[in-house]
A and B are shown apart, each in its own frame.
Chain A
Amino acid sequence: DGGITQSPKYLFRKEGQNVTLSCEQNLNHDAMYWYRQDPGQGLRLIYYSQIVNDFQKGDIAEGYSVSREKKESFPLTVTSAQKNPTAFYLCASSLADRNTEAFFGQGTRLTVV
């Protein structure tokens, strides 16, 4: 069935480690987004991509990196440069046309231990 799959659902990271969060979609969507959500707060945009091999920084890109080698996949790496990575990470996708809705995966909860 079609949808957006994020994995893992829960992730624990030690201080100083890089971790990669997976986001895969089979909706044939062109645009993909990564957001971070902290408790009691809204969604803040980390990176977004409209087409393969191209992506733009969002509002809080420092300490994160992405790639878009395939249309279906938009992995997010949380690097050791991100000083406060504990958060709920959400991936979304949509058609590239601005008048289309975005749909979300189930999220990955990252905790630094």
Chain B
Amino acid sequence: QKEVEQNSGPLSVPEGAIASLNCTYSDRVSQSFFWYRQYSGKSPELIMSIYSNGDKEDGRFTAQLNKASQYVSLLIRDSQPSDSATYLCAVILPRLGGGNKLTFGTGTQLKVEL
């Protein structure tokens, strides 16, 4: 089982709709979760972080975390063509012997259509 899993997509949504991106993780001790956006040929940029169960909203973005189900999601409201990118879910996995391992899923490609 992969440590962090995402559906690779592509996920296509019409402009103005809500895009829903999902991620599951395997290690119950994980406590820190992040969503990054990556445009083609560019490096990832952080868009959301979430550490406790429930919802966290920032503008058009809402991150949702359910630790019991080991599930984290990202909602993008009023999707715009500029939101078309790959969205990467990342989880910090604490490691015995030291170090916090920041692990990424394979990413979900989002396409927002006019």
Contact = CB atoms under 8 A, between A and B. Distances in A.
Interface of A: 31, 33, 35, 41-45, 48, 50, 54, 56, 58, 90, 92, 94, 96, 98-107
Contact of A56 (B98, B105, B107): B98
Interface of B: 6, 31-32, 34, 42-46, 49, 51, 88, 90, 92, 94-95, 97-107
A44 B42 CA distance: 16
B77 to A, nearest CB: 22
B103 A50 contact: no
26 contacts: A31-B100, A41-B106, A41-B107, A42-B6, A42-B104, A45-B103, A48-B102, A50-B99, A54-B98, A56-B95, A56-B99, A56-B101, A58-B101, A92-B102, A94-B102, A101-B34, A102-B34, A102-B46, A102-B90, A102-B102, A103-B46, A104-B44, A104-B45, A106-B42, A107-B42, A107-B43
B88 A42 contact: yes
Contacts of A101: 34, 46, 49
Contacts of B44: 43, 90, 104
Contact of B94 (A43, A98, A102, A107): A98
Given A42-B88, A98-B94, A105 B31 contact: no
A88 to B, nearest CB: 8
Contacts of A41: 106-107
A104 B44 CA distance: 7
A105 B43 CA distance: 7
A25 to B, nearest CB: 13
